[in-house]
């Protein structure tokens, strides 16, 4: 560890180091982040880009009284290092270790938790309104990236910031503009910011022109209106940030986000300002590590990698995402009405490959899940068959849109929920463990979960032919290739019997098939012979089969990687209750809790849905 970084052990220690040494400290912090993230994995490029910005904020603010709200929070590593968590940094994203995102329970310097995007300005506004109501004066700063500024909630928040103008109190938004979301940023705001950046060189000219414009006298009615209009449009053209200014938010910038003196000057100026102010900071994603500067998308979120070459150390094998991406291309070659939509995750969902083949049938809408879903509804209502690929956790944002804009109108939209189930190191903000609960009660929606890669393809073929709303959920990571001999055709609402045993039957949902097979083995070792059913359709589920099985099996066991509340087990329980079936039922799923970061195996153990824990409970129940 560098000698300057050694001196930083608690919040505000950075102020003990002379500012002239800050460039060296920034280098030491980058080296430190690189050393650890190359071993633990994590969000590298965004963190390398925000070292100086975070240092300047910590120099200008007093934490924890003052508050920094990080958007998404994937860029908060320097903040963690500067707030007494440096010595635990090697535990990043691991069980019991530091979380990869800000967390209130981890430190009182983490003023607001995050993981999902575009929340920071709203949260900072809330902190600010509470401060004002209590008559305090702390400084509050939201740090939001240009990608996160593509999310709707950010605009809802900007639209409300004029409250601080009324209160004459401070509210700072730092816009960290690196021209990137995970992939290249999209949309009109991103173009607008690009425009401001390119006008930087005209700054001097702008000052002169503005002076001249202000000197133009306004005479006569018609002439005055024309002059005023041309003054405004000239101003709009020449003065950066007029869009924000017109919303009542003072614009300051652009500021070089790697120059500590410039950043300190900007933040001090913003602190003195009364009312909302946006400080536009330009940074480079991946700064200081050449492989990440060259390929920030690859280094956005990465597993362990070799520092020298920048190459990932683990190669995971073919994932569900890979299979989805390739098979969608195959389908789209045959079906011309198929289009694909992603909300800022072209590489994460694999749709970048679709884009390469069908650039005109691909839409990246930015971090705008709600828009993605409703827009897909519009497309479907006008003759297209949209495939909307969004991570399970981010689809939570579009709950109302799924109901109101798709299912109520029975529109043929195919939802592909990637990263469904437990996700491992990203932890509680990213768990895809709610999707069965938030979708299964929506009328008209069909929900499927494949047991393996082959079945995923068959389900996709089925969905491409299906004329109505349909969803498929599948997990992160390597696709299961086993049970390939079980290839019964997909029939709406029908399950698949994999093994007929006796006394007890396991109803396994989607990716839990591997754990269910292990469970069956463990039970066999104890002398039982459980039946095994691959549920396939969560909605409509196979009531006929349940009726049929109820006469041959005493005990039903449901296995899913979803909350128990609103999960498949509860659907079966409700069905038993409704129909008077008296069979015994044991439901395995996630209790009423959020699940912290760790490996997926450990998370399953915590939740009691690993084969060993399930077998023990079943045996306890029957013996």
Residues that bind ligand TPP (CB under 6 A): 46, 71-72, 74-75, 116-117, 145-148, 178, 180-182, 285, 344-345, 367, 369, 394, 397
Structure letter (DSSP) for residue 90: G
CB 164, min distance to ligand TPP, A: 22
What phi-psi label fits residue 348: left (phi over 0), alpha (psi between -120 and 50 degrees) or beta? alpha
Give the number of other Cβ atoms within 10 Å of residue 267's Cβ: 23
* Candidates 369, 428, 515, 560; catalytic one: 369
HEC profile for 451-478?
CCHHHHHHHHHHHHHCCCCEEEECCCCE
Q: What is the SS3 assignment for 363?
A: strand
CB 330, min distance to ligand TPP, A: 27
CB 388, min distance to ligand TPP, A: 13
| Minimum CB distance to ligand TPP smaller for 369 or for 610 | 369
Q: Are strands 531-534 and 496-499 parallel, antiparallel or unpaired?
A: antiparallel
Tokens of 402: 């799924």
Tokens of 327: 């098979």
Q: Is 397 a catalytic residue?
A: yes
Per DSSP, helices labelled H in 89-140 are: 120-133
CB 523, min distance to ligand TPP, A: 40
CB 119, min distance to ligand TPP, A: 8
Q: What is the SS3 assignment for 590?
A: strand
Closest C-alpha to 425, from 33, 44, 100, 116: 100
Q: Is 52 a catalytic residue?
A: no
CB 344, min distance to ligand TPP, A: 4
HEC profile for 365-432?
CCCCHHHHHHHHHHHHHCCCEEEEEEEHHHHHHHHHHHHHHHHCCCCCCEEEEECCECCCCCCHHHCE
* Candidates 30, 131, 285, 536; catalytic one: 285
Q: Are strands 414-418 and 385-391 parallel, antiparallel or unpaired?
A: parallel
| Minimum CB distance to ligand TPP smaller for 119 or for 452 | 119
CB 549, min distance to ligand TPP, A: 40
| Minimum CB distance to ligand TPP smaller for 75 or for 452 | 75
- Using CA atoms, how far residue 32 sits from 25, 90, 508, in Å, is 10, 10, 44
CB 392 within 8 A of CB 420: yes
d(CA 73, CA 262): 24
Q: Are strands 338-342 and 362-364 parallel, antiparallel or unpaired?
A: parallel
Q: Is 514 a catalytic residue?
A: no
Structure letter (DSSP) for residue 218: -
Per DSSP, helices labelled H in 247-305 are: 260-272, 290-294
Closest C-alpha to 53, from 192, 244, 189, 255: 255
Give the number of other Cβ atoms within 10 Å of residue 449's Cβ: 32
* Candidates 397, 451, 536, 539; catalytic one: 397
Phi and psi at residue 285, in whole multiples of 5°? -65, 135
Active site amino acids: 285, 369, 397
């Amino acid at each position: 560890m560098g000698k300057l970084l050694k001196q930083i052990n608690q919040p505000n220690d950075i102020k003990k180091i002379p500012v002239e040494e800050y460039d060296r400290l920034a280098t030491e912090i980058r080296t430190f982040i690189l050393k650890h993230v190359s071993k633990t994995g994590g969000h590298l490029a965004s963190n390398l880009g925000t070292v100086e910005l975070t240092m300047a904020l910590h120099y200008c603010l007093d934490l924890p009284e003052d508050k920094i709200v990080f958007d998404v929070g994937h860029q908060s590593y320097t903040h963690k290092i500067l707030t007494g968590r440096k010595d635990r940094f090697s535990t990043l994203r691991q069980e019991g270790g530091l979380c990869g995102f800000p967390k209130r329970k981890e430190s009182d310097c983490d003023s607001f938790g995050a993981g999902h995007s575009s929340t920071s300005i709203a949260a900072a506004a809330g902190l600010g309104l509470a401060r004002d109501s209590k008559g305090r004066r702390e400084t509050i700063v939201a740090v939001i990236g240009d990608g996160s500024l593509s999310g709707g909630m950010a605009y809802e928040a900007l639209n409300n910031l004029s409250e601080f103008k009324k209160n004459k109190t401070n509210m700072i938004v730092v816009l960290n503009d690196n021209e990137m979301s995970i992939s290249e940023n999209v949309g009109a705001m991103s173009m607008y910011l690009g425009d401001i950046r390119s006008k930087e060189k005209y700054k001097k000219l702008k000052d002169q022109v503005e002076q001249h414009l202000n000197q133009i006298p306004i005479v006569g009615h018609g002439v005055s209106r024309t002059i005023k209009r041309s003054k405004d449009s000239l101003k709009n053209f020449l003065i950066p940030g007029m869009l924000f200014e017109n919303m009542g938010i003072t614009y300051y910038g652009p500021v070089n986000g790697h120059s500590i003196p410039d950043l300190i000057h900007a933040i001090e100026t913003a602190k003195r300002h009364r009312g909302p102010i946006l400080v536009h900071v330009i940074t480079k994603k991946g700064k200081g590590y050449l492989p990440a500067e060259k390929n920030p998308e690859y280094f956005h979120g990465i597993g362990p990698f070799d520092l020298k070459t920048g190459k990932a150390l683990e190669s995971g094998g073919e994932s569900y995402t890979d299979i989805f991406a390739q098979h969608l291309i195959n389908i789209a070659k045959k079906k011309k009405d198929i289009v694909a939509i992603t909300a800022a995750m072209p590489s994460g969902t694999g749709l970048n490959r679709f884009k390469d083949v069908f650039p005109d049938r691909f839409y990246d809408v930015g971090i705008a899940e709600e828009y993605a879903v409703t827009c897909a509804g519009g497309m479907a209502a006008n003759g297209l068959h949209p495939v909307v690929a969004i991570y399970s956790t981010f689809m939570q944002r579009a709950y109302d849109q799924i109901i109101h804009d798709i299912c109520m109108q029975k529109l043929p939209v195919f939802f592909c929920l990637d990263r469904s189930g437990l996700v491992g190191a990203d932890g509680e903000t990213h768990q895809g463990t709610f999707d069965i609960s938030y979708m299964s009660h929506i009328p008209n929606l069909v929900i499927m979960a494949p047991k393996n890669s082959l079945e995923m393809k068959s389900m996709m073929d089925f969905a491409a032919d299906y004329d109505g709303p349909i969803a498929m959920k599948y997990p992160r990571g390597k696709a299961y290739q086993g049970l390939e001999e079980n290839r019964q055709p997909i029939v709406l609402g029908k399950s698949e019997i994999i093994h007929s045993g006796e006394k007890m039957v396991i109803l396994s949902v989607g990716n839990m098939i591997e754990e269910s097979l292990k469970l069956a083995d463990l039970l066999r070792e104890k002398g039982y012979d459980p039946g095994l059913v691959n549920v396939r359709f969560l909605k409509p589920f196979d009531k006929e089969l349940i009726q049929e099985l109820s006469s041959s099996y005493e005990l039903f066991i449901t296995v899913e990687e979803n909350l128990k509340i609103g999960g498949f087990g509860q659907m079966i329980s409700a069905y038993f209750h409704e129909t008077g079936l008296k069979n015994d039922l044991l439901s395995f799923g996630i209790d009423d809790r959020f699940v912290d970061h760790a490996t997926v195996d450990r998370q399953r153990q915590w939740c009691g849905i690993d084969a060993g824990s399930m077998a023990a409970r079943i045996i306890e129940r029957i013996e």
